[in-house]
Amino acid sequence: MNVELTGIGVSPGVATAPVARLAAPPELGADTGPEPDPDAALASAKAALEAVAADLEARASRAEGPAGDVLFAQSMMPRDPALADRVAKALAEGRSAPHAVAAAFASFRAALEAAGGYLAERAADLDDLRDRTVATLLGLPMPGVPDPGHPFVLVARDLAPADTAALDPAQAVAVVTEQGGPTSHTAILAKSMGLPAVVACPDAASLEDGVTVLVDGRAGTVAVDPGPERVRRALEGEARRTEALSGSRGPGRTADGRAVQLLVNLGSPADLAAAAEADCEGVGLFRTEFLFLDRATAPAVEEQTEVYAQVFASFTGRRVVVRTLDAGADKPLAFVDHGQEPNPALGVRGIRLARSAAGAALLEDQLAAIGAAAAATDADVWVMAPMVATPGEARAFAARCRDHGLDTAGAMIEVPAAALRASRILDECDFASLGTNDLGQYTLAADRMNGALAELLDPWQPALLDLVGLAAEAGRESGKPVGVCGEAAGDPLLACVLVGLGATSLSMAPSAIAAVRAELATRTYEECAALAATAIGADDAREARRRVAA
C-alpha cells in the first residue's frame, strides 16, 4: 500500500512510528439500571476503580517531583472507601454500574470545584478518573494520551491542553490531528516541543492503531506504510537539514548573497533575554501591549521610558521596531471606554484609538517615552503604528513620531486597503511591515478566533500572498523597506516565498530563526521568486504549499 494523506504541516521534522490514537472519553449512554445483580455490579465497579488506581500508581512511581506527587495523590482517589460507598448507594438507588460510578465521582466533584484554585484543578482530575473507570468498566479504549510502551505517532481528532500536558516527546514522536489549524493549541505545543506535526488532516480519521506512518511536518504529509526506502530517504533529507541548521550563523542571505534581515518578535520583558541572545539583527516587532493590559490606569511616561530603555539597551547597535499600542474592544484597556462593539476586529483598535482625545493622549505619552528611551540608548529605534488603513493615518502618525525625535516611522500593513495602496502609504512614512495574521483574517473575511475557518487563515492563501506582493512591490519602487512580522515569516519554506515576493526583512520567534536562515541560504533570489510565482499560481493554501514543497 502506498497512501499519502495531506494536511497542514505546522511543525517541521520527519518521524516514523506506529499510530496510537487518542481515544475520546467514553459515552455513558442511557442509564440501563437497575442492575440485575447489584453485588456483581459493585464488584466489577470496584475492580475497574482498582485497575485505574494501579495504573496511576505505576505512572506515579515513574514520574519525579511535583508531577509524581500529584499522580500519587490521584492514585489514592479511585481507592477511596467513601467513593466505593457512594457507588454502592447509587447502585441501590437503581442506577446502572457506569452511571453509578459517574454519580459517585460527581458527588465529590462539586465540593472540590467550589473550593477553587488548586482543588478546582483536581475537579478536572476527577473527570479524567471517572472517564478511565467507565472506559475500563465498559471495555472501551482508555481515554487520554495512549501509552503503548513504544514510540508512537499520536493521532487525534484534536488535542486539548490537558491531553498534551502528559505528552512525553521520547514516546510521542509526531502528532497528526484531523482538525486544528496553524495557530491551534496542537501546533503551538508541537512547535515548542520540537515534534513534527500535521494538522487539519481529515483523512487521519481512517488511521488505525498500530499502522506505521511517516510524518513530514514540513510538507504536511502522512505516508501510510511508507516502506524502508521511503523512510530512509526522508530521514536522510531531514538529517541534511539539521546539519545545515547547526551550521547556520550570521545575517540572513539568499544563496546568491541577497541580504534579508532576520529579526525577532518580542512580546514581553520576560522574553527579552532569549530575544537578545538570538543570532539576529534586532527586533522586528516589539509589542507594547503588556505595559497597558491588566492594569487599572495608564502607565506613566517615566515607567514606560524605563522599560523601553531596558529593551533598547539589550540591542545596542541593532534595530528595534516598536509597535505602538494595539488595543481595542478585543484587547480592552481598563482605563479606556471602548464602548460596545458588535465586531471588535472591525472596530476602534490600533491607531484608530488615536481618533479620540483620550486615545491620542495615550499615543503621545507612548511616543514621548519611546523618544526619551531612544535618545538615552544606542539602538536603531524605528516606530510603527498598527492597523493603518489610509495614507492620511500614516502621515499623521509619522508627524507625531518626528515631534518626539523618532525619525523612522512606519505603518503596519494588516488592512487590505493599506496593502492595495501601499505605495501611497509609503509616500507618507519610511517603511512598512506586513502583519500576516490580521491581513489574512481581513483578506479572507475569516475570524481568527474561529477554528472552523483554519484553512482560510492559512498564511499560504494565495490571495494573502498577492497582497504581500503588492506591498513589497511598492517598497521596491520607493526604495523603502517592507518586511513581514506575522506567523508566516517563521515558516522556512514560506519565508523563501515571502523573500521571492520582495520582503526585505522577516521577523519571527527566536526559535524559528536558524531554520529560516538555513532554508534561505539554499536558494538564490531567482529561485525564491520562482517559488513565489508557483505559490501565487495555486487556487488555495493547501495547493500552494504542496506545489512549493514538491
Active site residues: 185, 485
Q: Contact at 8 Å (CB) between 15 and 173?
A: yes
Q: Is the dihedral of CA 423, 425, 426, 432 positive or negative?
A: negative
Task: Map residues 92-121 to x or -, x wherever contact with other proteins holds by CB under 8 A.
Answer: ----------------x--xx--x--xx--
Does residue 80 belong to the site contacting other proteins (CB under 8 A)? yes
The answer to whether 163 is a known ligand-binding residue is no
Nearer to other proteins, 108 or 290 (CB): 108
Residues 6+ apart with CB under 8 A from 526: 256
Q: Contact at 8 Å (CB) between 29 and 137?
A: no
Nearer to other proteins, 67 or 245 (CB): 67
Q: Cα angle vertex 372, ends 369, 376, to 5°?
A: 135
State the DSSP code for 143.
P
Could you tell me which stretch among 66-74, 245-253, 485-493, 526-534 binds other proteins (CB under 8 A)? Answer: 66-74
Provide φ and ψ at 409, rounded to 5°: -115, 140
Q: Contact at 8 Å (CB) between 42 and 254?
A: no
Least distance to other proteins, CB of residue 353, Å: 43
Does residue 270 belong to the site contacting other proteins (CB under 8 A)? no
23 alpha carbon, distance to own chain's centre:
23
Does residue 73 belong to the site contacting other proteins (CB under 8 A)? yes
DSSP-H helix ranges across 63-200? 65-76, 81-92, 97-115, 117-138, 161-165, 185-193
Nearer to other proteins, 107 or 522 (CB): 107
Could you tell me which stretch among 69-77, 134-142, 303-311, 533-541 binds other proteins (CB under 8 A)? Answer: 69-77
Does residue 399 belong to the site contacting other proteins (CB under 8 A)? no
Least distance to other proteins, CB of residue 340, Å: 39
Least distance to other proteins, CB of residue 105, Å: 9
One-letter amino acid at 332 equals P
Give dist(CA 278, CA 480) in Å, integer: 26
Does residue 65 belong to the site contacting other proteins (CB under 8 A)? no
Give dist(CA 87, CA 102) in Å, integer: 8
Does residue 54 belong to the site contacting other proteins (CB under 8 A)? no
Quick one: angle between helices 301-314 and 357-376, nearest 10?
40
The answer to whether 230 is a known ligand-binding residue is no
Cell of 9: 504541516
Does residue 122 belong to the site contacting other proteins (CB under 8 A)? yes
Nearer to other proteins, 55 or 527 (CB): 55
Q: What residue ranges bind other proteins (CB under 8 A)?
A: 66, 69-70, 72-73, 76-77, 80-83, 108, 111-112, 115, 118-119, 122, 126
Q: Which segments are annotated as binding site for phosphoenolpyruvate?
A: 287, 323, 437-438, 448
Q: Which segments are annotated as binding site for Mg(2+)?
A: 414, 438
